[in-house]
Structure 1
Amino acid sequence: MSMTDLDVQESELRLIPGLDVEVADTLRALKAAAMDDRPRLVDTTMLYAPRSGGVKRYLLSKKAWIEANRPGVSHSLIVPGARHKAGADGVVRLRATKLPFGDGYRWPTSVKRWSAWVAAMKPSIIEAGDPYTPGQGALEAGQRVGCPVVGFCHSDPAGLAALHFGEWAKKPVEKRWARLFSQFDRVVSPSRFIARRLEEAGVDNIVIRPLGVEIDTFRPERRDRQWLLDRLGLDQDARLLCFAGRPAKEKNVDVLIEAVQKLGAP
C-alpha cells in the first residue's frame, strides 16, 4: 500500500465533525500496528458488544489461539464501540450508534468509512462476521487492497427477521443476505443447518466448521453432581438441564421450558 493510499484513507476517516482528536489518535495507533510486516488477518463484525455472546467469544478465542500457536500471523479486530479507540490488545473500536433495545449492540452507518478503516490495516485476508455494514465494508476493503474476503455466517438473518417482524420480512432479507454472501471468496458455516439455508438461497463456496467445545473446561471428570444438587437444594433423582447464553427470543428458551414440563416428575 502506497503513502498515497494511506493519505486518501486519512482524509476519508477524518470526515467526522467534532471527533478529530479521537480519530487522529486511533489512526496513529492503527498505522503503528500496520508497520508489522507479518501477514495480517483482520476480523470485523458488528456482532460484538459488552454483553454479546457467541460471535465475540469466537473472535477472542481465535485471537488467543493465534497468538499462542501462530506467532508468524498478526490478528486484529475491527468492531463498533462507544468511541474511536485502538487498544494494545489488537481490538480497534470505531464509534457507532447504539441500537435501541439492542442489548449494547451498535450499528455503523458508513460502509465507505468502515471499508477505509479495514483497508488501512493492510490485511492479507479479511473475515467478516455479519452481512451488515462491516460485512459490506470488508468486501470493499478486499477489493481495495486486493486480498481475499471470507464471510462467516453465524446465523440465519431471514429466520431472525421473520421471528421478530413477521413472515413478510423473510423474503426480502433472504434476497439481500444471499446477494451479499455470494460475493465472498468463501463462506464459513458453523452448522449443516446454516449451510443448507445458504445453499437454498443460492450461495456456494461454503465451508462447514462445526462449533466446538472447550474440552479443558467441559469434560466428564470435572463434574460434581452432588455439589450442584446440594447448592440448588435438589433431590438425588432431579433432572438437570442447563442453558448457557443470552435469553434472547431467537434462543428459543421457551422450547427448553416446555421440554422440562413434558418430562414430568421428578
Structure 2
Amino acid sequence: MKIVDVCAFYTPTGGGVRTYIDRKLVALAARGHEIVVIAPGEEDREEQRGPNARVRWLRSPRFPLDRSYRYFADRAALHAVLDEEDADVVEVSSPWRSASMVADWRARSGSRARLSLIAHADPLSAYAYRWFGNVASTQAIDRAFDWYWRHLRRLDAQFDHVVSASASLTERLREGGLRKVMTDPMGVEPGQFSPRLRDADLRREMLALCGLGEDALLLIGVGRHAPEKRWDMVAQAAAIAGTQMPVGLLIIGGGARQRRVIDAIGDNPHVRLLDPVGDRAALARLMASADALIHGCEAETFCFVAAEAIASGLTVIAPDRGGAADLACANDGAVYRSGDAQDAAEAILAVAGSADVGPSRRHDRPIRTMDDHFDALLSLYATQHPQPRYQQGTGR
C-alpha cells in the first residue's frame, strides 16, 4: 500500500508526535509499504527518509497560539500534493482544518483512497474541560461545545475509520455519536527504554541537583511547557508532598511558557527544570534512574512518556482522565483528581510508601511497542483495501 499521513502536528521540535512519525517512516517502509508524511513547514521541500519513506513539507504560516507549530492554510496546495501522491490510504492526524481539507479533497477528486482519522489530539480535554472544569460538569461543557461534536460526527461520516489510541478516548468518542471508532493503542520505540538502564550514580547526581540525598524519592516529569501539561500544578504537588518526606522533582522540557512553572517552583530547591533531552538514549537512562514518573496532563490521547516510563520500570502517577490514566491504571500506578495539587501530593506519598517503588525496585513489564500499533493499523487497512496497488514486499 501507499500511505500518506497529513500530519499538522509534525514539527522538528515536537515531542510525542514527532517520535511517532519518525518511527512510522521506518516501520512501514520496512514492511514493504510506501509512506509519505505531509507536514506544514517553513518552505516547500521534500526530504527522503530512506527507501519508500519521505516527508513533504508544505509552506505554511505559524500557529498563532503556539509558534513552535504551523498549520495548513492553503487548501489548493494541499489538494495538489494529494493529487500527486495518489495514495491508497490517507491518514489525518488532526481533527481540525486539515481533516476537513482532506475530506473535501476526496469528494472533489473522486479518489478511491481510504481516509483514516488518527486521534492524536483531544481538544476538549486540553482546553474546554481545563478552562471550565471548575465551574461546570463535563456533560455541561460538552453541551456548550456541541458544535465541536457535530464537527466530529461529520468527519466520522466522511472518513472510513477513526483510530483512537486509548480505551477511554474511544468511549468518549462513541458516547459523542461517532460510529467508526476503533482502538489501536500506540506504544514505545522498540528496544529503547528498559529498567536495565538504571544507573545508581546518575540517580545520586539527579537527587544532588535537587539538594537531596539518596533516601529521597526522585520524581521525573517530561514534556513541553504548555498550559495543558500543568507543570505548575505538578511542582506544587511535589512541594506539598515534600513537607512530609524528602521529594525531588526534575521536569525535563522546554517552551516559551515557562513563567507559570518558574513561579510555582519559587525558591523550592528540590524542584529543578532541565532543558529538553534530544538524545533518546540519554533520556532512557535518565528515566530508568528515577523512582517514579509524574504527569499533569489529562488531555493525552495515549501519552508516550507514560508508556516510556512503564517500559523503564517506573511507577506512573497520573491525572484520572486521559491516556496517561489508562496506562497508570493498567500498570499498578496511581491516579489523582485532574488539576488538584493536594490530591496529586497524596498520590505521591502513597507511591512513596509502596513496596513497589524505590531504588531497589525494577520491573520488566511487557509493554506495547509502536510496531505493534503499526501492525494492527496495516491489518485494518489491508482488510478494508483487499486489492492494494502497492503489494507488501514488492515495488510499486
| Distance of aligned partners of 1:229 and 1:170 in 2 relative to their CA distance in 1, 3 Å threshold | farther
Question: Equivalent of 1:192, from 154, 163, 167?
Answer: 167
| Distance of aligned partners of 1:62 and 1:230 in 2 relative to their CA distance in 1, 3 Å threshold | same
For residues 180 and 216 of structure 1, the distance between their equivalents in structure 2, rounded to whole angstroms, comes to: 36
Number of residue-to-residue matches in the alignment: 226
Q: Residue in 1 aligned with 2:331? A: none
Give the TM-score normalised by the residue count of structure 2.
0.53
Q: Residue in 1 aligned with 2:386? A: none
1:64-86: CA deviation from partner (whole Å, max 9, x where unpaired): 1123x31x211100010111112
Deviation at 1:208, TM superposition (A): 1.1
DSSP 3-state at the match of 1:64: helix
| Matching residue's letter, 2:126 | L
Aligned residue runs from structure 1 range 197-208, under 5 A? 197-208=172-183
Q: Is the 8 A contact 2:10 2:21 kept in 1?
A: no
Q: Is the 8 A contact 2:79 2:102 kept in 1?
A: yes
DSSP 3-state at the match of 1:228: helix
Aligned residue runs from structure 1 range 132-143, under 5 A? 132-143=96-107
Aligned residue runs from structure 1 range 13-32, under 5 A? none
> 1:152 aligned to 2:118?
yes
RCO higher in structure (CA 8 A, sep ≥6): 2
1:27-62: CA deviation from partner (whole Å, max 9, x where unpaired): xxxxxxxxxxxx311001211223222222211111
Aligned residue runs from structure 1 range 1-266, under 5 A? 39-67=1-29, 69-70=30-31, 72-89=32-49, 90-143=54-107, 144=109, 145-162=111-128, 170-233=145-208, 234-263=212-241, 264-266=244-246
Q: Is the 8 A contact 2:156 2:180 kept in 1?
A: no
For residues 190 and 240 of structure 2, the distance between their equivalents in structure 1, rounded to whole angstroms, comes to: 31
| Matching residue's letter, 2:239 | Q
| Distance of aligned partners of 1:110 and 1:169 in 2 relative to their CA distance in 1, 3 Å threshold | farther
| Matching residue's letter, 1:153 | A
Q: Is the 8 A contact 1:49 1:105 kept in 2?
A: yes
Give the TM-score normalised by the residue count of structure 1.
0.76
Deviation at 1:176, TM superposition (A): 1.8
DSSP 3-state at the match of 1:106: coil
DSSP 3-state at the match of 2:220: coil
Q: Is the 8 A contact 2:3 2:88 kept in 1?
A: yes
For residues 202 and 127 of structure 2, the distance between their equivalents in structure 1, rounded to whole angstroms, comes to: 42
Gaps of 5+ in 1: 1-38
| Distance of aligned partners of 1:219 and 1:190 in 2 relative to their CA distance in 1, 3 Å threshold | same
For residues 169 and 78 of structure 1, the distance between their equivalents in structure 2, rounded to whole angstroms, comes to: 33
Larger helix fraction of residues? 1
Cα RMSD, aligned residues only: 2.3
DSSP 3-state at the match of 1:188: strand
Deviation at 1:133, TM superposition (A): 2.6
Deviation at 1:165, TM superposition (A): 6.4
DSSP 3-state at the match of 1:241: strand
| Distance of aligned partners of 1:149 and 1:63 in 2 relative to their CA distance in 1, 3 Å threshold | same
For residues 129 and 227 of structure 2, the distance between their equivalents in structure 1, rounded to whole angstroms, comes to: 8
| Distance of aligned partners of 1:94 and 1:181 in 2 relative to their CA distance in 1, 3 Å threshold | same
For residues 69 and 46 of structure 2, the distance between their equivalents in structure 1, rounded to whole angstroms, comes to: 19
Q: Is the 8 A contact 1:151 1:184 kept in 2?
A: yes
1:139-190: CA deviation from partner (whole Å, max 9, x where unpaired): 2344432111110011212233415765597333333233223421111111
Q: Is the 8 A contact 1:130 1:152 kept in 2?
A: yes
For residues 220 and 99 of structure 1, the distance between their equivalents in structure 2, rounded to whole angstroms, comes to: 38
Deviation at 1:220, TM superposition (A): 1.0
Identity of aligned residues (%): 28
For residues 138 and 56 of structure 1, the distance between their equivalents in structure 2, rounded to whole angstroms, comes to: 21
| Distance of aligned partners of 1:211 and 1:237 in 2 relative to their CA distance in 1, 3 Å threshold | farther
Q: Is the 8 A contact 1:159 1:170 kept in 2?
A: no
Q: Is the 8 A contact 1:112 1:137 kept in 2?
A: no
Q: Residue in 2 aligned with 1:27? A: none
| Distance of aligned partners of 1:95 and 1:57 in 2 relative to their CA distance in 1, 3 Å threshold | same
DSSP 3-state at the match of 1:62: helix
